[in-house]
Amino acid sequence: MEQSFLAWLRGRQRDLPQVAVGIGDDAAILDWPSSRQLVTSVDTIVDGVDFLLDKHSLASIGHKALAVNLSDMAAMAADPVAVLVAISLPNQQATQVAAGIYEGILATAAEFGVAISGGDITVYDGPLAISITIIGQAAPQKAWLRSGAEPDDAVLVSGSLGGSILQKHLAFTPRVRLAQQLRDSFTIHAAIDISDGLLLDLDRLCAASGCGIELQLDQIPISDDAKTLSLQDGGDPLEHALGDGEDYELILTCPAEQAADILAADLGTPLTQIGVLTSRTGLWSKLPNKLIRLSPRGFVHGG
């Protein structure tokens, strides 16, 4: 199956300037811009954990498999260049499933100008699993790290949070363009994408930077889905916004004096300041007269 499938895939991609030799040989070849670093990561999504094959559309599953990787590029402020896709397919209707997933991958890849530079298909006795490696590029020392944050930085978050399980986890827009705009016009000290929940990922960023954070809980942007989910489960919308995984929004830190300019800029995606970094470590809720320590919660997904 693989040879004919790769031929089909070759025919479905438009030419991209970075591709010197496309898929079909023992490896693909990309032209690499001079003086650029390579930024790379890998993420796997699996049926029953990250999506439900018997419920979600194949194209939406393909979109998610690619979008979680694009979100990592956004968190680094890297420009995505190419992806390699390894799909493990259950025996039933394997070709049909693979084609449906690739429809979603191809559409999202085209939207972000990303080449599909490798494809491996395995048919096996196991659940559908899609593992994508993404390759991006960045100017030297310009990629955002989790470790670059400094005390007194303003902490911003994109979009609104919580309740992603209702639909957003399959249909989110990775914040690649937002990151590119911010990188090109402002100083961002540190960033991380929210994959496991706001508090948990904030805790990771703070730990990597040796900082703590004073959060203003009344400023957390709560999504409509967090409110809907709370009506269903009797929970608190704020708890969903703080703890739910798979928002795939960006947490960003910037010099305090730049926050107002960033928040006033027309970036196409809402940004909200949710707190300030401190030299005192830990997560703290800042109330008028006191600080309350928060524990990093959040759902650690994907094992």
What does the binding site for a copy of itself look like in residue numbers (CB under 8 A)?
Answer: 1-2, 20-21, 25-32, 34-44, 46, 48-49, 72-73, 75-76, 78, 82, 84-86, 88, 117-127, 129, 131, 133-136, 138, 140, 143, 145-147, 191-193, 208, 302-303
Q: How far apart are CA 274 and CA 270, in angstroms?
A: 13
- Cβ-based nearer residue to a copy of itself, 91 or 289: 91
244 labelled as ligand-binding?
no
| Sole residue written with tokens 């559409």 | 107
The answer to the question of whether 248 is labelled as a binding residue is no
Instruction: Give whichever of 22 and 237 is closer to a copy of itself, judged by the CB atom.
Output: 22
299 labeled part of a ligand binding site: yes
Concatenated DSSP letters for 140-199? Answer: TTTS-BGGG--TT-EEEEES-BS-GGGTHHHH---THHHHHHHHHHS---EEEE-SS-HH
Q: How far is the CB of 69 from a copy of itself (least distance, A)?
A: 9
- The verdict on whether residue 234 carries a ligand-binding annotation is no
Give the residue with the Cβ less far from a copy of itself, 79 or 225. Answer: 79
CB of 43 to a copy of itself, least distance (A): 6
Least distance (Å) from a copy of itself to the CB of residue 199? Answer: 15
Determine if residue 201 is labeled as part of a ligand binding site. Answer: no
Q: Is 226 exposed, middle or buried (0-12, 13-18, 19+ CB in 10 A)?
A: buried
Residues 119, 99: Cα–Cα separation, whole Å: 12
Supply the minimum distance, in Å, between the C-beta of residue 181 and a copy of itself.
18
The residue among 164 and 230 lying less far from a copy of itself, judged by its C-beta, is 164
- Taking the complex as a whole, how short is the minimal distance between the CB of residue 209 and a copy of itself, in angstroms? 11
228 in helix, strand or coil? helix
Q: How far is the CB of 263 from a copy of itself (least distance, A)?
A: 23
For a copy of itself, the closer of residues 72 and 225 by Cβ is 72
Give, for 262, the enclosing helix (H) or strand (E): helix 256-264
Label the pairing between strands 212-215 and 154-158. unpaired
Q: Which residues contact 113 (CB under 8 A, 6 or more apart)?
A: 16, 80
Annotated binding residue 195:
yes
Nearer to a copy of itself (CB atom), residue 49 or residue 265: 49
261 annotated as belonging to a binding site for a ligand: no
Q: Are 99 and 88 in contact (CB under 8 A)?
A: no
Q: With respect to a copy of itself, which residue has the nearer C-beta, 29 or 107?
A: 29
Tell me which H or E stretch contains 266. none
Measured CA to CA, the distance from residue 77 to residue 35 in angstroms comes to 16
Q: CA 145 to CA 220: how far, in whole Å?
A: 23
Q: Which residue has the tokens 């693909």?
A: 28
Q: How far is the CB of 72 from a copy of itself (least distance, A)?
A: 4
120 assigned to a ligand binding site: yes
Binding residues for Mg(2+): 26, 41, 43, 72, 120, 193, 196
Binding residues: 26, 41, 43, 50, 72, 102, 119-120, 146, 193, 195-196, 246, 299
Binding residues for ATP: 102, 119-120, 146, 195
